[in-house]
């Protein structure tokens, strides 16, 4: 079971919202008994503040269990409704950082593929547009930095920034692998023997659902194999 201290994850809290840094390996929600996750840990945190009262916690967006990143939760139904509206209208800005050992042909570009999810294996793959169940997936990427690292097969690590246009299952991991630049540590879509993908949702900005203030958060990835 993944062990973590929820207090260390909280970046901001007021009466309406919680902003957290989800660690790599921790699920947002978990159906498995005894598995620590963000939802149950945050509800326990809130319950300690108001004993005897069932706390409300609205999950606004998610990250894959192996992926770390910044997440926003709602503490009231009103805040949840407004934050969900912002997500649906794409006014929430989210940016990701990934590490790969392969340099793509173009240092920046737009990827557009069709993905299909396999529920049996909990994986997605690139398919043709006419494949039943295929969904369009698009993102923009740009190379940020390249450094030497003899631990990789290519002797280097490349830091990539990604901005999603769509939010498909395992989208970044699948599309970067399809490009020929699988994420370091991603054993499901790359050549890694184990570990967790070096992928982080490092930036978010949104409008506070009650105050109307612009909220911006940037986090430093903790799961990357080397510091940039």
Q: Which residues are catalytic?
A: 64
- Phi/psi of residue 22, each to 5°? -75, 125
- In the block, residue with structure tokens 């396999």: 118
d(CA 198, CA 100): 8
d(CA 190, CA 181): 8
d(CA 24, CA 222): 8
- In the block, residue with structure tokens 């003899």: 150
Six token digits for residue 71: 């997440």
HSE-up (13 A, CA, CB side) for residue 40? 12
């Amino acid at each position: 079971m993944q062990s973590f201290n929820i207090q260390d994850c909280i970046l901001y809290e007021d009466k309406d919202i919680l902003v957290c840094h989800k660690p790599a390996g921790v699920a947002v929600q978990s159906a498995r008994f005894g598995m620590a996750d963000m939802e149950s840990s945050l509800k326990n945190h809130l319950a300690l503040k108001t004993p005897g009262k069932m706390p409300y916690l609205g999950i606004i967006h998610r990250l894959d269990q192996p992926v770390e990143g910044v997440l926003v939760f709602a503490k009231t139904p009103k805040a949840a409704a407004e934050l969900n509206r912002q997500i649906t209208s794409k006014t929430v800005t989210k940016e990701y950082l990934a590490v790969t050992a392969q340099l793509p042909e173009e240092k920046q570009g737009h990827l557009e593929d069709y993905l299909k999810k396999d529920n049996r294996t909990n994986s997605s793959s690139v398919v043709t547009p006419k494949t039943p169940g295929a969904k369009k997936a698009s993102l923009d990427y740009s190379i940020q930095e390249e450094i030497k690292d003899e631990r990789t097969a290519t002797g280097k690590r490349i830091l990539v920034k990604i901005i999603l246009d769509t939010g498909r299952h395992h989208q970044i991991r699948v599309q970067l692998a399809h490009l020929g630049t699988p994420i370091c540590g991603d054993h499901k879509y790359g050549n890694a023997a184990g570990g967790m993908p070096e992928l982080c949702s490092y930036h978010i900005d949104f409008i506070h659902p009650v105050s109307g203030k612009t909220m911006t958060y940037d986090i430093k990835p903790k799961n990357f194999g080397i510091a940039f």
